[in-house]
Structure 1
Amino acid sequence: MNTVAVVDYGMGNLRSVVKALEHEAPAGTRVLLTDSPGVIAAAERVVFPGQGAARDCMAALTARGLDAVLRQAAASRPFLGICMGMQVLVDYSEENGGTPCLGILPGKVRFFGTDLRDAGSGDRLKIPHMGWNQVHQEGAHPLWRDIPQDSRFYFVHSYHLEAGDPALVAATTEYGIRFTSAIAKDNIFAIQCHPEKSAAAGLTLLRNFMRWDGQPQS
């Protein structure tokens, strides 16, 4: 039986992620919410969701011995990062005065700032960026299959990722600036928004992940 490990590091209610994955799972697939390094290491696929602050996330991962197994999983099987689970994949976050992250992919996480303004009207934009916004696909990827260009997804975040390599950028979104809203490399795909809260487009992305073999052009 195929297993999908949903990483639980003790921050946030992840039941909506689990339920959405179960809804999209092929027959014979188990979705396991777990903080066990052994279960994560044995799973065929790994989903790393998250919310909260970068420093708290990294402290919780380290305390549970999950940092090492996440690096291992991200190197070897289909791996999906969601929201904070995207941000801490890179080297460093400005949050909490500066937080070293997992360093799986090159990049930094930056604060949107206190004077972010709409490019058209000049009106000040609220932080956090919260609500529905378009996701512009920057190239073909198996997880974009059957998702129309510029589909709207649901966001909640005050920090945005700057990829250390332009080739990592899988999608961008406009909110005062054009920021990276998804990254991808080999068997890793990560997205800033919450697909489990993003109606048809989000469920399609999760369904694509559950059938993805980890090849960028499969």
Structure 2
Amino acid sequence: MPITAGSVCRRNVVAATGDDPAWRVMRVGRWLATIRFPDGTERYAEYSTVVESTYHPLYPEVCRVGETLPSGNECYRDTAVGEPLPYDRDAPLSPVGELVLVTVTRQPDDDVWHALYSPSGAVLVGPLSGFYRYALQEDYDLIRDGAGVRHLCRWARPPAVCGARPDGERSGLRFPPPGMHWSEETDGPYPESPPAPDLFAEWNAPDICRPCLLAWLRDPEPEPAPAAASEPAAPSTWWTRLRRSWQA
């Protein structure tokens, strides 16, 4: 089965569009997402804070607060407008070297992250939300192979997501949250998590494994793997439960 842009991004969030009744309910939490391309071009989309995702289609223009919407009403929130840009979720995913690294900024808190855009289908492949950073940090670490390439490894041990078996230095990315049952009286101070990096910002870095990042986009929530004997399984957290609800 060929890999399409739609098969990748649908695994990251529930597949909804402006015509979906469920999406109309979610519109109460819609905000503007701005997608910036390397050449300075900007495209706009709707972002739902209900399910934390950017949605297709993309739009060429934006109506700012206080301006007049195409409907004639006053714009009370920055809104993507204009003729929806055509896209094809079923188009084959562009070759790895042709995927475009874009920057996504979404309101209301101006969260910024990097994502991949597939020109073949004019589709924002993902990540579709900046929360992906915490998803990676919960379960994954980066481990270098003999050539110095960093691979994404679940549970901080080989094999890597791409299938390689790196055995080098770990980056220390992984931080499984202690969970809601942590007691400072019995367990000590609540652990402080390290910064959650925007790994897709390093898409063009020579030492990052691109197949690992793409494979994670296709399957961000694989079947749980058993924990090592010396390592207890990470507890379920709010972010884990949210990701699973997307795929229900």
Q: Which has the larger radius of gyration?
A: 2
| TM-score normalised by structure 1 residue count | 0.29
In proportion to residue count, which structure has more helix?
1
In proportion to residue count, which structure has more strand?
1
| TM-score normalised by structure 2 residue count | 0.26
